[in-house]
Structure 1
Amino acid sequence: MAEPKNTSNQRLTQIKDFLTMNKTATTIPWDPDCTKFPTRQELPVIPGAPEGAAWVWGDNDYIGRLNLLTPTRVAAASKEIRTGEIVSVNLPLDTPAQPAFNREVFKHEIKIKAENLCYDDIYHLNTQSGTQWDGFRHFAHLASGTFYNGTKGSDIVGPKANHKCSIHHWAEHGIAGRGVLLDYKRYADKKGIKYDCYDHYPISWEELSQCGKDQGIDIRPQAQGGDIKIGDILFIRTGWTEAYHSKPEEERNALALRPHSLGKDDGQRYVGVSQEPKMMDWLHDCYFSAVSGDAPTFEAWPSHEEYYLHEYILALWGMPLGEMMDLEKLSQKCLERNRYTFFFSSAPANCPGGVSSHVNGTAIL
């Protein structure tokens, strides 16, 4: 009798692993210490999950790709610290003054406890108002109305609300690893590529690949012969922060208040990465622990496809998504040092039940 196909495949993988000294993720829940993971096209079918879901770290997992930030990888990432220069990636809490998508503005109140002797202060803010991590409660897989690892809206609000996919799980685990900056804005300026950061402009995988080559980085995953390591934290600079500061306050406030609705006609429009399949394969197959950009949406907005990258990155893959990172100083430091990798750490808010968080992020070169 012939062997079952899956058993044969597992044995073949075991032989390949022995010969290559790899450890391939084959059995769910995956071991984060594995050295080889399936591509997007090879993902296993998860019973009860939407097609393309990578809910592979266990039934009660709410940190997703942060599982890849193992002690071994964090220790290896610490070797990126060479000059010891510290670079914050956080915009001031009151920037942008009027957040995109007509979100609430930041308010700061000083509270006098004892005149001339003791003061407190009070923040009123929307965690999506500035430099932010989109948490797994922020954006669902739209067709199924499901957030990461089977979480539903009823888990977030209402009488049955609980802590599934709460941002505090990230805080308890922590975020630290090797950061990689792709400075698309500097590359575009060098090549004479013009675009408006406040309009829909999709950056293709090919453009990012050429940007990487210009910086001396092969953006393919290490498994395919490239320079991207499992667990890396991706940063893409589009120049949105520079564009924001170049505009008069009235104009940038008006742009943030443009009408918003899902679909191609959305009045909110921003530069970002394209939704093309090659981009999706790359974002998945590199096994980044998190991805981020400096614009309000990371992906080109609005999507001109029938789907959003937010659905895949957050709900299906469980990958933290950062937006409005201040990458201006980091860009300059990377240019001066002629290297675009560094150690990065972030302290999300330890808020049980929370949706998202400001980043509180630091790059160390």
Structure 2
Amino acid sequence: MLPKYAELPRLDDYGNHSWGVFGQDDELGTLNLIDADAVRAATALVRTGERVGLSLPLDQPDPPLFRREPFRHTVKRIGSMWDDRLDSFFPQGSTQWDGFRHHRVRRHGFYGGVQDDPAPGNPRLSIHHWASSGIIGRGVLLDVARHFGDLDALAERSITADDLRAVAEAQGAEIRPGDILCVRTGWLSAYRGLEAEGRAAISAQKSSFSSAGLAADESTAELLWDWHVAAISADNPAVEVTPGGAAVGSLHRRLLGMLGIPLGELFDFDTLAARLHESSRPDFLFVSVPLALVGGLGSPGNAVAVL
């Protein structure tokens, strides 16, 4: 039985942390909650066998966000065969998972209190540990965009813990330990509706552009921990609201660094949301296998929903 958030130790004024809950040398955080029983139960959700891709093409968003550069794709002939190569490729440039080395809790270190800096080939808290068994389990979609029909996803709008509870209740979605929680804010749908100039304007703002997202306060972290989700993914660029405020704090720090909850960004839930709405269900089999990149700080999502 996992402790409630209120029972976790406090780390200065940052919030409560789960360091040591899954072992002193833990590499998986709340992904530990996806055991064989959870996967077996999730496979029972497959009814039609329809598969819905949840990943954007690797070259989207275009232009890239957060000061990243577009990758270069080269095709080369080698004898009678052809090969290709990617240069300037950012694994976190499109649909992606943030690993535990992505965000530091300042002087306290990364998840688990790990102090050394990231480095290529460093296996500690590397994304390749997540690839060893994948992120496979019961996915639950909270369609915030549908519930709040007037939500402007391209504006700074905090989706609070109470909002998440309200959407779950309205959808009849029971959140169970080990679930992969998926949140549709409507950001991707709104972004797709922009002309090229509008997309370029967002990219030009570097890290300060506005988007709806989860509130970064401690009540959000408390809810997600007490729901005991294995991971959370969203269709916006940062999961949390942007640009946010220093007085509220960082949800990346609270979830990745403090609680060991993986964050997935820019997941494409539009088609999935329509299919689930048509069939009056909130859950599905979620399948995602990150790259086995030793020392990696993040990975493309490589995600599919099976209905």
Give the shorter-chain TM-score range. Answer: over 0.9
| Unpaired segments ≥5 residues, structure 1 | 1-23, 25-36, 218-226, 261-266
Q: CA deviation at 1:45?
A: 6.4
Deviations 1:153-193 (A, max 9, x none): 43x139xx73110111111132111000001111122xxx2
- What is the SS of the residue equivalent to 1:343? strand
- Within 5 A, what are the aligned runs for 1:1-365? 24=1, 37-44=2-9, 52-55=16-19, 56-114=21-79, 117-124=80-87, 125-142=89-106, 144-154=107-117, 156-157=118-119, 162-189=122-149, 193-195=150-152, 197-217=153-173, 227-260=174-207, 267-304=208-245, 305-365=247-307
Higher relative contact order (CA 8 A, sep 6+): 2
Q: How many residues align?
A: 303
- What is the SS of the residue equivalent to 2:104? coil
Alignment partners' CA distance in 2, 1:73 and 1:216: 20
RMSD (Å), alpha carbons: 1.9
- What is the SS of the residue equivalent to 1:123? strand
Which range is displaced more, 305-314 or 288-297? 305-314
- What is the SS of the residue equivalent to 1:66? helix
AA in 1 matched with 2:185 = T
AA in 2 matched with 1:209 = R
Q: Which runs of 4+ in 1 moved over 6 A?
A: none
Alignment partners' CA distance in 2, 1:250 and 1:51: 40
Change (3 A) 1:259 1:71: closer
| Superposition TM-score, scaled by structure 2 size | 0.93
- What is the SS of the residue equivalent to 1:100? coil
Q: CA deviation at 1:44?
A: 4.4
Q: CA deviation at 1:91?
A: 0.2
Alignment partners' CA distance in 2, 1:42 and 1:272: 27
Change (3 A) 1:147 1:118: same
Q: CA deviation at 1:39?
A: 1.0
1:10 corresponding residue in structure 2: none
Alignment partners' CA distance in 2, 1:284 and 1:301: 22
Residues 106 and 129 in structure 1, CA contact (< 8 A), matched pair in contact too: no
Which range is displaced more, 145-154 or 316-325? 145-154
Residues 80 and 341 in structure 1, CA contact (< 8 A), matched pair in contact too: yes
Change (3 A) 1:63 1:250: same
| Superposition TM-score, scaled by structure 1 size | 0.79
Deviations 1:232-257 (A, max 9, x none): 00000011111111111122022112
Alignment partners' CA distance in 1, 2:269 and 2:195: 21
AA in 2 matched with 1:43 = L
| Unpaired segments ≥5 residues, structure 2 | none
Alignment partners' CA distance in 2, 1:308 and 1:123: 32
Alignment partners' CA distance in 2, 1:233 and 1:129: 21
Q: CA deviation at 1:206?
A: 2.3
